[in-house]
Amino acid sequence: MDKIPALCGRSITLESLPMSNPGIFITGTDTGVGKTTVAVAIVRQLVLAGRRVGVYKPVGSGVSLAQTKAMGSMDSSQLWEAAGRPLTLALVCPQLFQAPLSPPRSALAEGKTVDDRLLRDGILPWKKAFDFVVVEGAGGLFSPLSTDSLNVDLARDLGLPLVLVDAARLGAIGRTLAAVTAARAAGLTVAAVILSQVQPAGNQQPADPAHPSTVMRDSAIDIRLRLQPLPVAVLAYGAHAIEPQMDWLAQ
């Protein structure tokens, strides 16, 4: 994969992170844009740096009955494994529902409701015991988590800066600029943008301007130009590390 000019070869410092309440809220422009893959990469980086990392996914839906009985989902299990299995898997995502719908609709299908208080209080065991907490939302920034709360509301109440993830495909520039603008208008700090390559290249040749890695690189460059000095990075398909590396603990 080609490098992103003016960004690679060094670690990016995120000076806006509020270290009095260390953590980040990973959200997306939509569902299915690679949030969990990015979250896992960030958690692994922090663990390798010797940090004790807490992981929290406030609510999940589209979870099979077998997974629910095991008190886990694919997303929460990946986060938990990346962090070294801290506390218990049940605390990673304390609210799980089966139907592949928005969390409030999924809960309603089971005759239940999403507990708004638990969305906010579920992070407390992680804040008390760990140096840094990585929170992964459900769906996009303005997707509903409950009848009364969107991801943007929870991020604001938790007091965490956003890491905005979008899929590295056509339309990433417009989606990302719109989401960053909306987040800032809502009074939130955007700490970084990560483009995640969610599909392999297939039979496309590297010289093809529509090759996924080329689209990812070019989109990152254009987003960086329009949002500088906001850090912009990428996560290639199948990669385990974000490029360039970011200093999530910078003060």
Catalytic residues: 57
CB contact set of 114 (below 8 Å; sequence gap of 6+): 59, 95, 97, 103, 104, 107, 145, 146, 147, 149
Residue 72: its pLDDT value, please?
Answer: 52
Concatenated DSSP letters of 57-68 = ---B-S--HHHH
What phi-psi label fits residue 84: left (phi over 0), alpha (psi between -120 and 50 degrees) or beta?
left
Distance from C-alpha of 99 to C-alpha of 105, rounded to nearest angstrom: 8
Residue 8: its pLDDT value, please?
Answer: 42
Residue 247: its pLDDT value, please?
Answer: 83
Percent helix / strand / coil, the chain, rounded to 5:
35, 20, 45
Q: Evaluate whether the domain defined by 12-247 bears CATH number 3.90.1150.10.
A: no
Residue 74: its pLDDT value, please?
Answer: 81
Per residue in 145-187, pLDDT tens?
A: 999 999 999 999 999 999 999 999 989 999 999 999 999 999 9
Residue 249: its pLDDT value, please?
Answer: 67
Domain positions in the chain: 12-247
Residue 1: its pLDDT value, please?
Answer: 45
Distance from C-alpha of 55 to C-alpha of 71, rounded to nearest angstrom: 15
Residue 9: its pLDDT value, please?
Answer: 38
Q: Which residue has the tokens 């600029």?
A: 177
- Which residues of the chain are under the pLDDT cut of 70? 1-21, 65-73, 205, 249-251
Residue 250: its pLDDT value, please?
Answer: 61
Residue 212: its pLDDT value, please?
Answer: 81
